A and B are shown apart, each in its own frame.
Chain A
Amino acid sequence: MAQRVSVTVIMKKLINDPDDVVDEMLDGMTAAYPDRLRRLPDTQVVVRDDAPVEGKVALVTGGGSGHEPTHAGYVGDGMLDGAAAGDVFSSPTADEFEALIDACDAGDGVLAIIKNYEGDVMNFETAIELAEMEGVEVESVVVNDDVAVEDSLYTSGRRGVCGTILVHKAAGAKAAQGADLSEVTRVAEKVIDNVGTMGTALTSCVTPEKGEPTFDLGDDEIELGIGIHGEPGTERTEMMSADEITDALTEAVLDDLDLDPGQEVLTVVNGMGGTPQMELFVVNRRLQELLGEHDLETWDAWVGDYMTSLDMMGASITVCAVDDELKELLGAPADTPALTTK
């Protein structure tokens, strides 16, 4: 009789050593864009090659790695000036954030865009206070667009997820126009006030360190309201069709935003890292139908991997209400490794 042996299956990954993943990723990234990105020596901070850019408010962000192309993928013309990468799913340390702020400030002030995770907020705020002691003018905004849950693993309040990209885009465009720090900050807050996101996981992500799924999800199960580190969501249900999942996510976001009929919106269908584009477009098809049923008008629809969770299969849906100002800024030119608009 065959004996059943319990073995821990370490998932295959294209890595060398888990400890070196972030370091090697950043070197590979700057090697891919040598004339656009530059890594500060002895840090995990990536900045525009021409940083600090004179005559412009600087935009900086950062957070744990594993969400690529977030964060450094959005460093470039019309978006971010620099980004600090922490270890996988861990906040950068305060001294890295401080180095980032110092490297990007050209004297017109710095806007720090922080996703609402306890470690990110504490380390960034400490860095900001230190930079202010050195005479740098810094404002910060905290993005908390995930409508799924209040307070979860890593967070007090709502989590910051894919809506952050729209904050980078709109505030980055405003800064590129030469607006001052208070105006750039106002635009960032405006996006935050008008954006909501909810995601789902079909599979767990697998961190390089652990090499096995972060959470258990049955073959026939999905998790609604999942966080970008695999934090628990609102509900674990049986697998559903793409349309049913899209409906569940979208209705939750629209409930939260409570938009008037006729409102124009930008939508993002975001892949979690392991989802074929084919499936993201299937989701987008239903999303657009549903918005029509709600009398909402799609001004622009983005589909792709913007804010991922390593190799997780799944998607998030972001809806952002836009007015003339946000349309102008979100549509303004940007030229970064991960996002180009003309």
Chain B
Amino acid sequence: MTGDGAAVVDAVEAVAERIEDERAHLTELDSAIGDADHGGNMARGWAAAAEAARDLDDPDPQTVCKTVGKTLMAEVGGASGPLFGGSLVFASAELDDGIDAESAVAFAETYLEKVEDRGDARVGDQTVVDALTPAVHTFKKSVETDELPPLEALAKAVDAAERGVAFTVPIRAKKGRASYLGWRSVGHQDPGATSALYILEELLAVAADALDAEIPDVDATSPTIPDEAAEDDSAAAEDD
């Protein structure tokens, strides 16, 4: 979490690699409830995004995010293009002064807001929003209320997203292609939410790398209100 565009390019490359690795799995998830194109579309889009990001000459984080967003919009297609890519273009407006804890929160909130608006989806609809909402809320609380270091806040956000993805399994899809299945969508993990988790996991790994730090071991459900946490038996967040 420096103000360095190069770290963001690294993150994009890591995401592209991860999505390519998970391509078959994402397609499998999508074929159960959709039209089996999520893995291929996302892999194609992120590969193009990584290439576009690499081609930038000494960019700032905002330029990288905007470029990646535009490339995803153009290459992913369907609903995922505007959801994953368009939201990134809009959220990049929050990075005028680079990335710090404050702008990262604003970026995350804007991203979530755009995804919710564009997809007209809320928590519980079995969509990408189910992964993003707990991640963004946890990140914001960790930074603003608990005053945790950014890396730990991001680790908690990833943990929250993982729970969000698990939450998509036992609920019924209300938005997106899976919603046409009605009750038959129950029992299936949402591919979009899964992609979002992979992206967040890679952001965390690259952020830890850039800071030359270990990925903190956290539990998003543990109470972390600073003063109490210090008094109570050491919070799970401290475990390692």
**CB distance A91 to B118 under 8 Å?**
no
**What residues on A are CB-neighbors of B79 within 8 Å?**
118-119, 122
Task: Give Cα A230–Cα B85 distance, bound, in whole angstroms.
Answer: 29
Instruction: Kindly supply a per-residue 1/0 record for chain A positions 145-176, scoring 1 wherever the CB is within 8 Å of any chain B CB and 0 otherwise.
Output: 00000011110100000000000000000000
Task: Give Cα A226–Cα B227 distance, bound, in whole angstroms.
Answer: 63
Does chain B have a CB within 8 A of A203? no
Report the nearest B residue to A98, measured CB to CB: B73
Of A87, A94, A151, the residue contacting B82 (CB under 8 A) is A94
Does chain B have a CB within 8 A of A193? no
User: Which of the candidate stretches A68-76, A125-133, A184-192, A315-323 sits at the interface with the other chain?
Assistant: A125-133
**What residues on B are CB-neighbors of A90 within 8 Å?**
77-78
Task: Give Cα A261–Cα B85 distance, bound, in whole angstroms.
Answer: 51
Does chain B have a CB within 8 A of A93? yes
Task: Give Cα A152–Cα B82 distance, bound, in whole angstroms.
Answer: 21
**What residues on A are CB-neighbors of B39 within 8 Å?**
none
CB within 8 Å of B: which A45-99 residues: 87, 90-91, 93-96
**What residues on B are CB-neighbors of A125 within 8 Å?**
82, 118
CB within 8 Å of B: which A101-148 residues: 118-119, 122-123, 125-126, 129-130
**What residues on B are CB-neighbors of A122 within 8 Å?**
79, 81-83, 86, 118-119
Task: Give Cα A153–Cα B74 distance, bound, in whole angstroms.
Answer: 23
Instruction: Kindly supply a per-residue 1/0 record for chain B positions 172-194, scoring 1 wherever the CB is within 8 Å of any chain A CB and 0 otherwise.
Output: 00011101100000000000000
Assuming the A-B contacts A122-B118, A126-B86, A130-B89, are A93 and B77 also in contact, with contact meaning beta carbons closer than 8 angstroms in the complex? yes
Assuming the A-B contacts A126-B73, A152-B180, are A91 and B89 also in contact, with contact meaning beta carbons closer than 8 angstroms in the complex? no
> Could you tell me the distance in whole angstroms from the C-beta of A12 to the nearest C-beta in chain B?
26
Task: Give Cα A130–Cα B73 distance, bound, in whole angstroms.
Answer: 12
> Could you tell me the distance in whole angstroms from the C-beta of A202 to the nearest C-beta in chain B?
24
Of A93, A153, A154, A156, the residue contacting B73 (CB under 8 A) is A93
Does chain A have a CB within 8 A of B70? yes
**What residues on A are CB-neighbors of B73 within 8 Å?**
93-95, 123, 126
Does chain A have a CB within 8 A of B90? yes
Of A87, A91, A93, A151, the residue contacting B74 (CB under 8 A) is A93
**What residues on A are CB-neighbors of B70 within 8 Å?**
95
**What residues on B are CB-neighbors of A119 within 8 Å?**
77-79
> Could you tell me the distance in whole angstroms from the C-beta of A229 to the nearest C-beta in chain B?
12
Report the nearest B residue to A231, measured CB to CB: B180
> Could you tell me the distance in whole angstroms from the C-beta of B180 to the nearest C-beta in chain A?
6
Of A91, A95, A129, A151, the residue contacting B179 (CB under 8 A) is A151
Report the nearest B residue to A153, measured CB to CB: B180
Report the nearest B residue to A90, measured CB to CB: B77
CB within 8 Å of A: which B51-108 residues: 70, 73-79, 81-83, 85-86, 89-90
Assuming the A-B contacts A95-B70, A95-B73, are A129 and B78 also in contact, with contact meaning beta carbons closer than 8 angstroms in the complex? no
Task: Give Cα A94–Cα B71 distance, bound, in whole angstroms.
Answer: 10
**What residues on A are CB-neighbors of B74 within 8 Å?**
93-96
Report the nearest A residue to B35, measured CB to CB: A153
Report the nearest A residue to B174, measured CB to CB: A156
Task: Give Cα A90–Cα B89 distance, bound, in whole angstroms.
Answer: 22
Of B81, B177, B180, the residue contacting A94 (CB under 8 A) is B81
> Could you tell me the distance in whole angstroms from the C-beta of B95 to the nearest C-beta in chain A?
15
CB within 8 Å of B: which A216-263 residues: none
**What residues on B are CB-neighbors of A87 within 8 Å?**
77
> Could you tell me the distance in whole angstroms from the C-beta of A157 to the nearest C-beta in chain B?
11
> Could you tell me the distance in whole angstroms from the C-beta of B67 to the nearest C-beta in chain A?
12
**What residues on A are CB-neighbors of B77 within 8 Å?**
87, 90-91, 93, 119
**What residues on A are CB-neighbors of B177 within 8 Å?**
118, 153-154
**What residues on A are CB-neighbors of B85 within 8 Å?**
94
Task: Give Cα A142–Cα B76 distance, bound, in whole angstroms.
Answer: 23
**CB distance A94 to B86 under 8 Å?**
yes
Task: Give Cα A90–Cα B183 distance, bound, in whole angstroms.
Answer: 26
**What residues on B are CB-neighbors of A154 within 8 Å?**
177
**What residues on A are CB-neighbors of B176 within 8 Å?**
118
**CB distance A93 to B81 under 8 Å?**
yes
Report the nearest B residue to A232, measured CB to CB: B180
Of A93, A96, A156, the residue contacting B175 (CB under 8 A) is A156
Chain A residues engaging chain B, CB cutoff 8 angstroms: 87, 90-91, 93-96, 118-119, 122-123, 125-126, 129-130, 151-154, 156
**Considering the complex of A and B, which 3 residue pairs feature the smallest CB-CB distances, nearest first?**
A126-B86, A126-B82, A95-B74
A90-B77, A154-B177 known; 8 other A-B pairs, CB under 8 Å? Answer: A93-B74, A93-B76, A95-B74, A118-B176, A125-B82, A126-B81, A151-B180, A153-B177
Task: Name 22 A/B residue pairs within 8 A (Cβ), A-sorted.
Answer: A87-B77, A90-B78, A91-B77, A94-B86, A118-B176, A119-B77, A119-B78, A122-B81, A122-B82, A122-B118, A123-B73, A123-B81, A125-B82, A125-B118, A126-B81, A126-B82, A126-B86, A130-B86, A130-B89, A153-B180, A154-B177, A156-B179
